[in-house]
């Protein structure tokens, strides 16, 4: 039996190179209303191209949004506020804000936010598969951490290590140092010169570089970074931007005011639209009316 018209999915079909039939078919009850619907988690608005992982059952296989921009909304324990997190490179980052006008998302390392006033940074930042969707904004900066360092004995030409031993050594009382002992240091990108970085790295167990917001770092009291100021900078997060320009089908879809749909293996499925079914030709860059059954192929 045919579905009532109000239940029929509207979607733009990307033709020739990427019709829906070339990937996993959309489920018959896939409703375009989820594209324009927004959700709130922890005071953050979750809307396209982001999507909430537990919003519908179909999000385990399909998304109206970019595959790797999946937001998890959860509580650490009963009674706690909800926290939106995103998984990047195998690590969790708390979503502090999403600014849709500038296509910017503000993230902070979830472990750092839970680490008190002197958090222990435990991993570098990597985009993972999300590099296809995300990139740094125009004003990124970073902090470099050296853990488990032994500066004794110093070489005759110590490359400035003596000068920085006190100035940059992390000294807050709540700091959890390297398990086997040794000193820990934090440097801004301006302070860290290559010869000193190589020498210091050779004397330390671990080196970690993390992104920060350059404006926040520059306006902070940088002399207080080792005594806990670095935690304040990290807690305010860093910014990433998103765009669809790496995928021509999605770019054309959004230019025609549609919403891109992907499978969880990042296969482009189609372009969902609220005002009817369209066909987007990636060769001519033209959008025209088309019937779903003409191009969707057999089930």
Q: Is residue 277 scored above 80 in pLDDT?
A: no
Q: How many domains does the chain have?
A: 1
Residue 127 buriedness (CB in 10 A; 0-12 / 13-18 / 19+): middle
Whole-prediction pTM value? 0.81
- The mean pLDDT of the chain is 78
For residue range 117-153, what is the model confidence (pLDDT) as tens digits?
899 999 999 998 888 889 998 778 999 999 999 887 7
The per-residue pLDDT for 9 is: 36
Q: What is the pLDDT of residue 184?
A: 93
Q: Is the pLDDT of residue 282 over 60?
A: no
| Mean pLDDT of the region 213-237 | 95
Query: Tokens 């125009």 sit at which residue?
Result: 138
| 150/165 Cα distance (integer angstroms) | 11
Kindly state whether residue 271 falls inside one of the protein's structural domains. Answer: yes
Residue at 252 is within a domain: yes
Q: How confident is residue 62, by pLDDT bands cut at 50, 70 and 90?
A: low
Is 137 a domain residue? Answer: no
Please state, in angstroms and rounded to a whole number, the distance separating the CA atoms of residues 183 and 241.
36
Q: Does position 44 have pLDDT exceeding 90, yes or no?
A: yes
Mean pLDDT, residues 199-210: 93
Residue 11 lies in a domain: yes
Give residue 298's domain range. 1-40+247-299
70-74 and 83-88 as β-strands: parallel, antiparallel, unpaired?
A: antiparallel
Q: What's the pLDDT at 279?
A: 46
pLDDT class of 33 with cuts at 50, 70, 90:
low
Higher pLDDT, 159 or 92: 92
pLDDT at 12: 39
Q: Checking phi first, is residue 90 left (phi over 0); if not, alpha (psi -120 to 50) or beta?
A: left
pLDDT tens digit string along 148-198? 998 877 666 555 677 777 789 999 888 877 777 889 999 999 988 877 888
Q: Which residues contact 84 (CB under 8 A, 6 or more apart)?
A: 41, 42, 44, 46, 71, 72, 73, 94, 95
Residue 5 falls inside a structural domain? yes
Residue 265 covered by a domain = yes
pLDDT at 6 over 50: no
∠ Cα 50 51 52 (to 5°)? 135
Grouping H, G, I as helix, E, B as strand and the rest as coil, residue 16 is coil
* Distance separating the N- and C-terminal Cα atoms of the chain: 16
Top pLDDT among 224 and 289 is at: 224
Question: What pLDDT does residue 103 have?
Answer: 94
In a domain, 15, yes or no: yes
Residue 298 is assigned to a structural domain of this protein = yes
Over range 221-234, report the average pLDDT: 95
Q: What mean pLDDT do residues 10-24 have? A: 36
In the block, residue with structure tokens 């997190």: 85
Taking Cα atoms as reference points, which of 7, 4, 29, 12 lies closest to residue 275?
Answer: 12
């Amino acid at each position: 039996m045919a579905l009532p018209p109000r239940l029929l999915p509207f979607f733009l079909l990307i033709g020739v190179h990427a019709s829906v039939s070339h990937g996993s078919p959309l489920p018959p009850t896939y409703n375009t209303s989820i594209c324009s619907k927004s959700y709130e988690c922890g005071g953050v608005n979750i809307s396209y191209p982001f999507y909430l992982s537990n919003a519908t059952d179909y999000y385990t296989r399909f998304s109206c949004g970019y595959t790797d921009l999946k937001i998890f909304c959860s509580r650490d324990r009963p009674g706690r506020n909800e926290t939106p997190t995103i998984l990047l490179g195998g690590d969790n980052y708390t979503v502090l804000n999403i600014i849709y006008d500038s296509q910017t998302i503000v993230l902070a390392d979830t472990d750092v936010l839970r680490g008190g006033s002197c958090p222990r940074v435990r991993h570098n930042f990597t985009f993972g598969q999300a590099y296809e969707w995300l990139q740094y904004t125009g004003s990124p900066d970073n902090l470099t951490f050296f853990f488990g360092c032994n500066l004794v004995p110093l070489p005759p030409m110590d490359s400035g290590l003596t000068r920085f031993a006190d100035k940059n050594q992390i000294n807050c009382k709540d700091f959890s140092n390297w398990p086997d002992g040794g000193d820990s240091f934090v440097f801004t990108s301006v302070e860290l010169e290559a010869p000193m970085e190589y020498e210091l790295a050779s004397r330390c167990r671990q080196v970690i570089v993390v992104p920060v917001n350059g404006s926040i770092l520059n306006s902070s009291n940088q002399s207080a970074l080792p005594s806990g100021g670095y935690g304040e900078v990290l807690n305010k997060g860093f910014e990433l931007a998103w765009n669809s320009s790496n995928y021509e089908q999605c770019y054309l879809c959004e230019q025609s005011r549609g919403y891109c749909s992907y499978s969880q293996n990042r296969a482009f499925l189609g372009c969902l639209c609220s005002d009817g079914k369209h066909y987007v030709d990636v060769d001519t860059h033209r959008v025209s009316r088309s019937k779903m059954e003409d191009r969707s192929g057999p089930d």
